[in-house]
Structure 1
Amino acid sequence: MNRRVPLSHRLGIILTLFFIACSNSQEHDVESTTLATVGNVKINTERLQRAFHALYTNPSERTSINERKSLDRLIDIEVLLLEARKRNLHNDIRVKNKVLETEQELLLEELFKRGVVSGNENVTTEEAREYFDRYHIKEERRVSRILIASPTGIDRVFQRTHAGEDFAAIAIDLSEDGETAMQGGDIGWMSRLSFKSHILRRQVFNTPVGELLGPIQEPDGYSVMKIVDTRNVSFESAVASVKEVMVKQKQALATFEFLENLADRVQIREHAEGIQLLLTRLSQAGKDTPEFKRGELQQPLFTVEGAKWTLEHFMNAMHSERDQAEIRTVDDLRSYAKRLYAFKVQLPKYGREQGMLEIDTIADALRRVEREELLGRLRDQEVIEQIDFDESDEREYFRKNKDRYTRPERTSILELLVDDRDQALKLRTQIEKGGDFDELARRYSKRSTRIRRAGGRIQLLNPDKYGKLGWEAKDAKVGEIVGPIKTNNGYSIFKVLKKIPEQEVEFEQAVGRVRAHLRQDLSEDYFVEFVSELRRQYKDQIVIYEKNLKAHQM
């Protein structure tokens, strides 16, 4: 089967070329260096070289054929942008919001550079230790996740978990997260520093080990999480991360102070009824998105210089923030709403007054972001939103590509891990003389609490990914005791309990992966067809100067 380039990767290549090229989209008319024009945009030799070297990093690939392919990619970009502008997508709300968000971030960065906003970036080790202790950073949770694109697919997940099936096996079969599905959904160890959402942070650390959490609505779908394990880490291993977070928090506090001062510069008239209604809806929703009755979103929170800032303005502003505040009281809401207003309305106005939007680096960045968003929005309209398939299409795709869908090899072992080789040898001797492997693992293994409580039982999915331990387990016979072997974590002794070879799966077990792969392949097909159609549609605006190109390649 031919391997496809995922649409996300293909678009990533286009955006990479776009990033390289955007500062050169309006070139001086130097005829000998102009290789092509699309509309009024010139593609010159310098731009082509940047694209060529970005796409083909291996010198052996830098051929004239591939250079021509690079030129075609650049033409594709300009044709896509012509179509996006023709559709007036620069006025699309998603495009405008992304540009505005970037503008706000860049303005804040510039204010920090100028010293207008300043936060103390020095964090002492003593301060970091106090933070580490106060906020329980030593505790970490190992989390696994099953991602499903639609809420209806979540029912299938819970049906299988309620039937007692292994969460990792369900993740392999159903999860649409390409990065973690084949690892049984494992997303690794997470501390309280790993979460921007205070709601999700609280849920993860309040859920007992072994329990499920969800469904949780995420940007890419709905997820069910399992708290797999817990452990404590040392301050020394976390100090760098703690200091980094503390610096960001100090900068955030300085930003809050600046935004509050901006808000104080204008006459803000609060509407108590709107503020109380918003607090009520937020409280009722808890971790979910608030629901409003008809007409409620049009109620004002503030009136500033005759203009009303409504509940709808607030909700749109809040949803665009990656780190939303925890709101419990009217004062919390009042303060947060004023900061949001200053950030979304007053800050851009202040930046324009100070001439910051005319700074080359800021202006170039905003142009680049707008063009990237135009490409992305056009892709959504013509590719993502046009994809439509049903179960019969999924089953047919599964039939044609059945070799892609297997349950990976699994090896179950009892394992005991210690720091010292001599201790490992003594423990192996005890086991060979009839010692209880389970009990010795509980007493001496340095593995996690969960594994120790399970008597050292570990299931190795795809043993090769576990390094030397996995390789040795793969070669060992069932019932054989192996070790001590040196691993990155110490010296390991293990006994193989069971081996399950790689197995083909039925459609119902692989439907999540099938759906993700089919969507990816259709996206690629639609995208190629769309770009080809645009090349035909705009052919009169595309000029390639073959003579200049040939001279450039000599």
Structure 2
Amino acid sequence: MQRLSTGSGWGLFSRLFFFSLFTACTTTSEEPPQAVPGVVARLGDTILQASELRDFAISTPQNLRSKQEGAAAREDYLRSLLVKHLLYLEAQVWELQESMEVQKRVAASWHQHLIEIYRNEQPPIQVEVDEEEIRRYFEENDLGRQRQLAGILVEEESQAQEVLAKLAAGASFADLARQYSVHKGSAAQGGVWGYISRQQARRLKIPDEVFRELPVGVVSDVLPINKRYLVMRFLQDRPGSLDEHQARIHSVLHAGKLKEAKREQVRSLARAFGWKIESAGLDLLLKKAAAYSAVHRQHFSPREAVQPLFTYQGGQVTIGAYVDALWEDAGRAHSGWGMKDSAAVVAAAESTVMESAILLAAAKRAGIPERPAEQNWLEQTRWEFMVRQVRKEEVEDKAAVSEEEAEEFYQSHEDLFRKSDQFDLIEVLVETEEKAQDLLATLERGDATLLDLAREHTIRTESQEEPGKVHLHGRDRYVNPQLYEAVQEAARGEIVGPVQVKGGYSLFKVLHREEGELPPFSRMARRAHSLLRQQKEDRIFEELVDELLEKYQDRITIYQDELAAALPDTLIQRLAATERD
């Protein structure tokens, strides 16, 4: 079937079309269908209810809400909802309900939805954790001992070896930490990270034997920490009390017990459904495991892949489905996990495919799929995936970005990639504009300097060095955007204000400005690809919308009075206020 080609309208047709549409309320020369209370628009036989439009507007993410007011905002929300329905109409024309990709996605979401409904309707599982279990966990995990860690974390092993050599020659650990360490939280403190327990040491990838046996004051060998390298020592030890760990230990043990209770519940259901392994499927799987170091689905023919490995009342798990589930944990699958023998297959199936298969069977036995509410959910989900598929095929698949395009975009939009400017300034922040004006008058008379006033009056508590001296970083453009924007526009040495900022009214003078550096393209390539791709997708989508509106224009009717009642000005204002907040 012929599909739409994308034009070059950039949304122009849709803007002109909606202007004429909202002026005339219909696009046909025939008499439009009569208005029906609660119906805001018609798209052929499809009725757009006021409740649907209201729910759509309210559920629209804040960053996508209309920036317009009144009738213009109503048009924005209705246009967006109409576009979804137009995409669905096009999906039906393309018969995407028959698409294997759509069917696969719908089935996966449907099965997960049924399982969640079933779980939510089961009585809650109760587990208990007693004091003796908490004490035993405390002792077995050596939580009674805490060690104060000092470390120098570097990017390259050669740097770590250089640090070791300098320490051996008598250099100061604290000085080297300030010079070399990329661990920002500790470098300025001479490398002191703080007290850690054995569990915390494990999370840092510090070996148990190092935590247990490294004497206080002795420097370790180079330790690989993820993709970095650590040179460390312990400064002192202190005992840890059970009381300070009790709540967390209880939480850990309770979660573990609850998880095991749920597993046992699934095992019990599996027995009730007659879950069993099929010998023919097992023999074939183990035969492939003997032939290949890591078994993939492609090692099976299509006929072999659909052979049952496990069966139960109402269903089966195929060999292909089992192998796919194993490869969701690629690291373990590469090592041959779940392939060694029948016991390994049974154990791996229990932690991968059995739970979802059995809970889905239980949900079906409970009649959950036949409920009207769940059938409505299924139809809505199918609708959503068909719409997404249109967007994927007609927009996302056509928005590829080459390396050359990304680099050209980077070069022509440097401001998008340049790091934020940093500023040093003197500032006095006060509660009211009136007080700020009084202080400004004092400055203009020459009765005091700005720094004198800041020392006496500023209410900013996060100032550096001393009251009144402030350093603005790039993150402040988000934390305190009004101040950052005003400082960006100010000339050095000029007293500016009062400016209303977060926390009050500000008078300030810029002392120093450090322009943000422009990182090389090699570091910004991924971001350039992402930004340009999004730009392309937006353009192609607008072109697609133009064509759909033109194609279906004679089937659209809008009822202005019902639209105004569905999205009254009070609601539009509330949505806009929420977006601003």
TM-score grouping bracket, smaller chain normalisation: 0.5 to 0.7
Question: Bigger shift: 89-98 or 380-389?
Answer: 89-98
| Cα deviation digits, residues 441-477 of structure 1 (max 9, x gap) | xxxxxxxxxxxxxxxxxxx995859999xx9xxxxxx
Q: Indicate the residue corresponding to 2:284 in structure 1.
A: 274
Question: Bigger shift: 91-100 or 202-211?
Answer: 202-211
2:13 aligned with 1:31: no
- 2:552 is aligned, of 518, 528, 538, to 538
Q: Indicate the residue corresponding to 1:330 in structure 2.
A: 342
TM-aligned CA deviation for residue 307 of structure 1 = 9.0
CA distance in 1, matches of 2:330, 2:133: 26
Q: Indicate the residue corresponding to 1:47 in structure 2.
A: 52
The residue type paired with residue 263 of structure 2 is: L
Q: Indicate the residue corresponding to 2:415 in structure 1.
A: 403
2:386 aligned with 1:386: no
**How many percent of aligned residue pairs carry the same amino acid?**
19
Structure 1 contact 356–362 (Cα < 8 Å) conserved = yes
**1:472-491 alignment runs, 5 A limit:** none
CA distance in 2, matches of 1:242, 1:78: 48
Q: Indicate the residue corresponding to 1:78 in structure 2.
A: 85
CA distance in 2, matches of 1:260, 1:302: 11
Provide the TM-score with structure 2 as the length reference.
0.51
Q: Indicate the residue corresponding to 1:260 in structure 2.
A: 270
SS of the counterpart of 1:504?
coil
The residue type paired with residue 249 of structure 1 is: K
CA pair 522-59 structure 1, distance change in 2 beyond 3 A: closer
Q: Indicate the residue corresponding to 2:437 in structure 1.
A: none
Q: Indicate the residue corresponding to 1:242 in structure 2.
A: 252
The residue type paired with residue 502 of structure 1 is: G
TM-aligned CA deviation for residue 70 of structure 1 = 0.8
Structure 2 contact 88–387 (Cα < 8 Å) conserved = yes
| Cα deviation digits, residues 499-527 of structure 1 (max 9, x gap) | 98631233233222212211222222222
CA pair 126-387 structure 1, distance change in 2 beyond 3 A: farther
| Cα deviation digits, residues 224-246 of structure 1 (max 9, x gap) | x6588999996357457636743
Structure 2 contact 204–225 (Cα < 8 Å) conserved = no
RMSD, matched Cα: 5.5
SS of the counterpart of 2:40?
strand
Structure 1 contact 36–543 (Cα < 8 Å) conserved = yes
CA pair 103-506 structure 1, distance change in 2 beyond 3 A: closer
Q: Indicate the residue corresponding to 1:502 in structure 2.
A: 516
Q: Indicate the residue corresponding to 1:68 in structure 2.
A: 75
SS of the counterpart of 2:278?
strand
| Cα deviation digits, residues 45-79 of structure 1 (max 9, x gap) | 22222333444979996522111211111111111
CA pair 236-33 structure 1, distance change in 2 beyond 3 A: same
Q: Indicate the residue corresponding to 2:458 in structure 1.
A: none
TM-aligned CA deviation for residue 402 of structure 1 = 0.8
Structure 1 contact 300–311 (Cα < 8 Å) conserved = yes
Provide the TM-score with structure 1 as the length reference.
0.54
CA distance in 2, matches of 1:95, 1:205: 46
- 2:527 is aligned, of 509, 513, 516, to 513
Question: Bigger shift: 526-535 or 393-402?
Answer: 526-535
Structure 2 contact 39–562 (Cα < 8 Å) conserved = yes
Unaligned runs of 5+ in 2: 1-33, 150-154, 161-181, 185-192, 209-220, 424-471, 485-512, 570-581
Structure 2 contact 40–558 (Cα < 8 Å) conserved = yes
Unaligned runs of 5+ in 1: 1-28, 142-159, 166-183, 195-200, 214-224, 412-459, 472-498
Larger Rg: 2
**1:47-126 alignment runs, 5 A limit:** 47-55=52-60, 63-115=70-122, 119-123=125-129
CA distance in 1, matches of 2:205, 2:378: 37
| Cα deviation digits, residues 15-58 of structure 1 (max 9, x gap) | xxxxxxxxxxxxxx981221112343321222222333444979
The residue type paired with residue 41 of structure 1 is: T
Structure showing greater relative contact order (alpha-carbon pairs closer than 8 Å, 6 or more residues apart): 2
CA pair 352-50 structure 1, distance change in 2 beyond 3 A: same
Equivalent pairs counted in the alignment come to: 386
TM-aligned CA deviation for residue 409 of structure 1 = 7.0
